[in-house]
Structure formats: C-alpha cells, structure tokens
Amino acid sequence: MIVVDAKALPTRAKLHREPVIPAGYVMTIQTNNAVSGLLERLTWLMRAIDDDVSEFVQQYAQHWWTGFASRTDASNAVAAPVGAWLLVALASGATATRRCTALGLQPERAEQIAAALLERAPKALRAATAVWIASDQRTIAFDDWQQHLPPAVACGPVPTSQQADAWAHAATDGLISRFPVAVTRETALVLVNALAADVRWRRPYLARPSDDWGVGRRWAGRVQSVLVGDDLTAVRTDQGLFAVHQAQAEGLIVLCVTGIPESAGMAAAAEVARAYLGGASEDLWSLPLGEQGCWQIAEEPLEDAPAERVLRTEARVPAWEAESTWDLMAEPELGFVDAAQRISVLLADPGPAQAVQCARARFDRLGFTAAAVTALAIMRSAPPRDREPKAGVLRKVRVDFAEPFAAFAFVDEPDSPWHHVMAFAAWVAEPTEPTQV
C-alpha cells in the first residue's frame, strides 16, 4: 500500500510541479524591509520545487523499508516516511556545515524543501509540526536556528506528558492518543510532526461474500466479505509482473500492489507504485489465459458486443487496518542519529536522544483513515536538581497611585519609525470607578 497526493494526478501522467506561493502572500512593490523578507521566502519556496520532491521522499522510504524489512514479514505494518523525512530535514539546518547523508542533500536545500511541504500541505492531509524546548536549555545558537524554521513550525516550552498526549490526539483527529516518546522533567527538547488523513472514496466499494476469494491461496477463508472495485492495472518491473489497484478519494489515492515475491517486500512494491504513477502499464490482453499467481484470466463469447474486444476488470481487496511503532534510532540510515547530534549542539545540557514514530491506518469500504506522529526527543545529561529549602527574606513592594499622577502612551514597534514616539499624554487629577465587566 502506497499513499500519494492525487491533487496533481487527474491522469497517471508523470507528476508535474506547480509554482508554490503560500496563501495570503501578495506581491506588491513596497519600500520597506518587509518586501526583502517576502521575496527571500518566495525564493526559498520556488527553489524547493525545482526538483521532484516526491523522488527525495521515495528514496528515503526505500531506506525505511529496507532497514525494517523484517517488520513486514508476519504482521500488518504502517508508516509515514515523509513525516520522519520532514524532521530530519528541519534538523539538518542546525549544523549547516556538513551534508545530510540520509537525505542526500545539503542542509539549506533540505530546509527549503521541508518549508515548501509544510507551508503548502495538501487539503487531504492534515499536518502539524512543533519544536518544544525547556527554558534552561535555550542558547544563542538554538534561537538562531529557531528563527530560520518555517512559519508552519510552532515553537513553545516542553509540555507535560498529558499535554503531549493531548497534542497528538488533536493533531491526528483522535487516531493516536499517546505521544510516541516519554515527555518528563528530564526532557530538554522535542521536535515533532503529525500527519492525518480521513477521506471518503469517490466510488464506495461493493462488499461481497468471499466464498470464492483467494481459493488455494494464503488468505482463503480468513474473512467473510471482501471489497470489489473495477480499477486494475498490470505493471511489469525487473522483479516481475504485479497487479495494481487504485482507490481514489478527493486529493488522495491509495495504491494496492500485489503479486510481490516474499523475498522482495515493501521496497519492491514501492518501486512498482512509482512506475505506475509514471505511466507504466502492461497490456492486459497480452497476458496468458488461466490462473497464474494472483491473476485469473478467462475469455467467453459475448453477444451484441459494443466492440470487437471488451475488457472487464475486477479487483477484490480485503479491508485492512494496521498499527505500528518504529524505533527510528535503530536505523542510522534514516538520519535520526545524525539529527540528534546536530540539535544537541544547540542545547545547554544535552543528553541521550530517542526517536519514535507511531502510525495507524484503516482501509475500508467507504474510505481511508491514517495518522502518524513522529517525535525526536533529547533528554538532559542529568535530571534537574530540586533546590534545597533555605531561609531567606521576602521583600514586598507596593505603590498606591493615590494622588495626581501623569500617564504617557508610546508606540512600541522596534522596526517602525514610530518606535517610542509619544502618542498620548495625560495628567490624572481625579480617579473614577473601574468599569464593571
């Protein structure tokens, strides 16, 4: 199963790129400092789409499925490699002096692409990204990195464990209720991304009894009903002949790929999906009659046919659901070991790191729901020490403005020529009662 943004895929022609201009940005000619920042931001975003971004994510996903190959042998598994990719790309800018090996990009380039993706999230996919830091861990270097993060990245203090759980729940529409990593008093920093989708098929599936479904194959008799659709394509690669079924929703398509050799796994299926999106297909009339692998092909006479040859395709797909937890530090090629090292140098007292992704998905008759939360957490090198109680002096200072006084109102905009200009001045000779609200 591969999920792809279908907004730019009215057909299966090769993905094309459109200019990325964030909503709300208006090009005007002004003579102030804001225009230079705006132009710089637009340049970032436009450069980010000079390349096929999906190719970068696809290469990263190949590392994912190759590294975690054993996880997909015996049980359902779901992941959102793009969520992890975004965090590694954001972290790459923390130390911009060396190439980000996991992404195959220079840090500046990786940041540009991440900014373009986060600031132009597709309608079918909810995205939330944040960085949380303990107040005593901030440094000048961290503040500089934070200022260069995309506006879509929310920044704030490290939350409580309950608040982190609530964030995950809200960002995934309730699909994930527990934060992937433990958030405690020892947490110095958290970089997190959440993705969620909840779409309905343009054409709901028919549900039919599974009496003759998968006869002689591994799942025969496992379920009582299967989903029936008519979209079916054959794709041939170096690995063999595969069947691809497409389920389409508004802004999202789900490709189901079968015929995969057990030795090939998800990495091979991902290549098939990419080939399909690139327009690859095998003429179904060229396939031999009979049963071969997952294919069942037969012919019969047809009276009053609308054409000399009529093709009828049928895909019978089971509903499915999956839930997975991935230890991203266990696979160095995914870049989280490097990302943790890059961010650690920005903190006052960094310690060990952990990176985890939790993901869930369900494919059903009416639609598709999925969510993933990816988090990189860096702990303190030592837990914060509780202060020993000691005797001291509390000084209380109070001033009663109980006689005539003066009041002044000044403009407080550091970037404006009005900064610290006195706008209003008053002399207060008589008090009045406050408004009761």
pLDDT tens digit string along 40-62?
544 444 444 445 677 788 888 88
Q: Considering only 108-112, 215-219, 223-227, 237-241, which range has the smallest mean pLDDT?
A: 215-219
Question: What whole-number distance in Å separates Cα of residue 373 and Cα of residue 193?
Answer: 6
Give the pLDDT band of residue 384 (cuts 50, 70, 90): low
Does residue 360 contact residue 370 with C-beta atoms inside 8 Å? yes
Q: How far is CA 68 from CA 65, 127, 271, in A?
A: 5, 25, 16
The mean per-residue pLDDT over the stretch 87-97 comes to 82
How far apart (Å, rounded) are the C-alpha atoms in residues 326 and 330? 9
Q: What angle do CA 283, 284, 285 make, to 5 degrees?
A: 90
pLDDT at 140 > cutoff 50: yes
Q: Does 183 have pLDDT greater than 90?
A: yes
In this structure, what are the phi and psi dihedrals at residue 267, rounded to the nearest 5 degrees?
-60, -40
Taking the C-alpha atoms of residue 431 and residue 434, their distance in angstroms, rounded to an integer, is: 9
DSSP, collapsed to helix, strand or coil, labels residue 136 as: helix
The most confident of 376-380, 399-403, 426-430, by mean pLDDT: 376-380
**What integer pLDDT is reported at residue 361 of this predicted model?**
87
Distance CA 359, CA 367 (A): 17
- According to DSSP, the residues that pair with 320 across neighbouring strands are 363
Q: For 342-370, what is the mean pLDDT?
A: 91
For helices 336-344 and 81-92, angle between their N-to-C axes, nearest 10 degrees: 30
Which residues is 380 bridged to in the sheet? 350
Domains, the chain, in order of start with CATH, read 1-17+52-299+311-383 (3.30.497.10)
pTM of the model: 0.75
Give pLDDT, residue 197.
87
Q: How far apart are CA 236 and CA 14, in angstroms?
A: 17
**Rounded to an integer, what is the distance from CA 368 to the centroid of its chain?**
16
What confidence tens digit (pLDDT) does each residue in 299-332 have?
888 777 777 788 888 888 888 888 889 999 999 8
Higher pLDDT, 183 or 1: 183
Pairwise CA distance, residues 344 & 185, whole Å = 17
